[in-house]
Amino acid sequence: MAKNKVDSLKSEFVLVGIDPGSVKTGFGVLEIRGNDIRHVNHGVILLADEATFPERLLALSDSLQMILKKYQATQVVIEKIFMGKSADSAFKLGHARGVAMTEAARSGAQIFEYATRAAKKGVTGTGAASKEDVQQALKIQLGLGQIVNFDASDALALALHHAQEWRTQLKLIKLSERK
């Protein structure tokens, strides 16, 4: 008997959002159970300023490996690259994204990417939302107290947006299979 499309889309999983950076990398962990989205943890991986760039990437790799293993993430969402303040910043961000993708792939998780504006729009209703607006929306939607770091809230926004998109896809597939 062939599996239907819904069977291939899990309705229960752990999701880690990652906002990569070469000095600070935000992460947010959500647990998805059907229509329920539960905040598990969030934080920032701080990489030593005095360390060389390769040393920071290695520390980022080790930290992400521990996080993905600890929470047994089956899906990882990583912020898409954008052109920042300078080409050098964009290249460093690209390296940090590469480390995040490598560790997600090594863990066996499915990897998804969203632009910052898409995540902001999904969480607040507008892609032009401020970081403060994103934090406020996350606090309301996830029932959180204070989120003290924008890198962590950016990662949580990526994760929440993906969880909402995933849930919508499940509903659409279920509806199409009823026809």
Which positions are annotated as active-site residues?
19, 79, 151
The residue ranges of DSSP E strands in the chain, in sequence order, are 12-19, 24-33, 36-46, 75-79, 110-114
- Name the DSSP letter for residue 86: -
- Please state the separation of Cα 84 from the chain's center in Å: 19
Specify whether the CB–CB gap between 1 and 140 falls below 8 A.
Answer: no
- Please state the separation of Cα 94 from the chain's center in Å: 16
Q: What does the radius of gyration of the chain's CA atoms come to, in whole angstroms? A: 17
Q: Which residue's entry shows tokens 């507008």?
A: 126
The per-residue b/e assignment along 136-161, b for 16 or more CB within 10 angstroms, e otherwise, is: bbbeebbeeeebebbbbbbbbbbbbb
